[in-house]
Amino acid sequence: MTQSRSLAIPFAVSCLAVLLFAIMDATMKGLSLSLGLFNALFWRALAGTLLGLAIMLPTGHRWPDRAVLRLHVLRGVVVTLMASLFFWALMRMPLAEAIALSFIAPLIALYLAALLLGERIGKRAISASLLGLVGVAVILSGRMQDSYDWDALLGAIAVLVSAVLFAWNLIIQRQQAQLASPVEVAFFQHGIMFILFSLCAIAAWAAPDLVPLRLDLPVPASFLLIAACAAFAFTSLAAFAWAYARAEAQHLIPVEYTAFLWAAIIGWLAFGERLTLSTIAGAALIVAGCLIAMRSGPPAQMHEGIA
């Protein structure tokens, strides 16, 4: 009973964080379609950085040492590439389908952990990864049969590349979570993204034909949505870090798969997206593979830092 009570609050916080991430993804999809991908990402990163400063300065956070700062920078670069690919894909495919494909990231993380951290991969984990790959194949086969929508197929490929970067992000996160506070993690992630998208802006002014990024002032309604996205992302990142610091990952990871349900509901309400049987079947196989892999060793946290 005591353990159940101790898990209740982290469990609830994790559920809230998943919902906020799903809302943020949907809002970013709408902003990317209306403002352009890099416009939306730039302004959201700026808003998140300012929000982080507003929280960091009054609370007296110290500047991290060189080793921790190096982790912050590395993860910020990885997340910048990951977010660009993921939201580019969201402009071309249904929200629920993209979320389902992104679930493959923890399985990819198993092999990256073996490569980068020297961890051993068991037979059960290998079987789980194969089951996840079958799930990906099911989703992609459904996509290819859907009137040969090659633009959406490119989006699916972009999600898979983003998932590889997400898996690398999970490995970095294992080290980072032990060295920095949730607020510091969220602040530096947004700050690094802002710096990188600012460099893209400079390149756009120098060679506008090469980098399709314009810093036209959005309408007030768009600014409100961008501020909301930053608040959702920042709050979710901090909430996940708080929850995973107080409960074992094996108790919280299953909650993260509810993102597929939220994505399906929000995608239908906001964009009129339909949910196909191949997407449901593929998502079920990928989730099953992840749950099997989770039982074979220490699981990787999924959502923190997704964008």
The whole-model pTM stands at: 0.79
* CA neighbor of 108 nearest in space, from 306, 286, 250, 304: 286
Contact assessment for residue 84 and residue 166, using Cβ atoms and an 8 Å cutoff = no
Question: Considering the chain, what is the average pLDDT of its residues?
Answer: 79
pLDDT of residue 109: 76
pLDDT of residue 126: 76
pLDDT of residue 115: 77
Contact assessment for residue 194 and residue 42, using Cβ atoms and an 8 Å cutoff = yes
pLDDT of residue 306: 47
Render pLDDT for 257-274 as a digit per residue (tens, 0 to 9).
888 888 999 999 988 988
* CA neighbor of 235 nearest in space, from 192, 169, 182, 173: 182
Residue 39 has pLDDT above 70, yes or no: yes
pLDDT of residue 215: 42
Q: Between 304 and 181, whose confidence is greater?
A: 181
Work out whether the CA dihedral 215, 221, 227, 228 comes out positive or negative.
negative
pLDDT tier at 31, thresholds 50, 70, 90:
confident
C-alpha 129/C-alpha 1 separation (Å) is: 35
Maximum mean pLDDT: which of 20-24, 59-63, 250-254: 20-24
pLDDT of residue 297: 54
* CA neighbor of 108 nearest in space, from 82, 127, 129, 86: 129
* CA neighbor of 133 nearest in space, from 161, 107, 172, 94: 107
Contact assessment for residue 98 and residue 86, using Cβ atoms and an 8 Å cutoff = yes
In the predicted model, what is the mean pLDDT of residues 269-282?
A: 87
Q: Between 19 and 219, whose confidence is greater?
A: 19
End-to-end CA distance of the chain: 36
C-alpha 307/C-alpha 45 separation (Å) is: 10
pLDDT tier at 85, thresholds 50, 70, 90:
very high
Contact assessment for residue 89 and residue 152, using Cβ atoms and an 8 Å cutoff = no
Look at phi and psi of residue 148 and say left if phi exceeds 0, alpha if psi is from -120 to 50, else beta.
left
Residue 221 has pLDDT above 90, yes or no: no
pLDDT of residue 145: 65
DSSP 285-301: HHHHHHHHHHHTSPPPP
Q: Between 91 and 202, whose confidence is greater?
A: 91
Determine the Cα angle at 232 with ends 227 and 233, to 5°. 100
Q: Judge residue 274's burial from the number of C-beta atoms within 10 Å of its C-beta, 0-12 exposed, 13-18 middle, 19 or more buried.
A: exposed
pLDDT of residue 81: 95
pLDDT of residue 286: 85
In the predicted model, what is the mean pLDDT of residues 10-34?
A: 89
pLDDT of residue 181: 80
Contact assessment for residue 83 and residue 41, using Cβ atoms and an 8 Å cutoff = yes
C-alpha 68/C-alpha 185 separation (Å) is: 10
In the predicted model, what is the mean pLDDT of residues 203-211?
A: 46
pLDDT of residue 211: 38
C-alpha 55/C-alpha 158 separation (Å) is: 34
pLDDT of residue 304: 45
Contact assessment for residue 152 and residue 159, using Cβ atoms and an 8 Å cutoff = no
pLDDT of residue 84: 93
Of 11-15, 97-101, 249-253, where does mean pLDDT reach its minimum?
Answer: 249-253
* CA neighbor of 242 nearest in space, from 65, 12, 47, 41: 12
CA atoms within 13 A on the CB side of 148: 0
pLDDT of residue 147: 56
DSSP 51-63: HHHHHHHHHTPPP
Q: Between 77 and 55, whose confidence is greater?
A: 77
pLDDT of residue 252: 74
Q: Between 211 and 150, whose confidence is greater?
A: 150
Contact assessment for residue 44 and residue 233, using Cβ atoms and an 8 Å cutoff = yes
C-alpha 291/C-alpha 299 separation (Å) is: 9
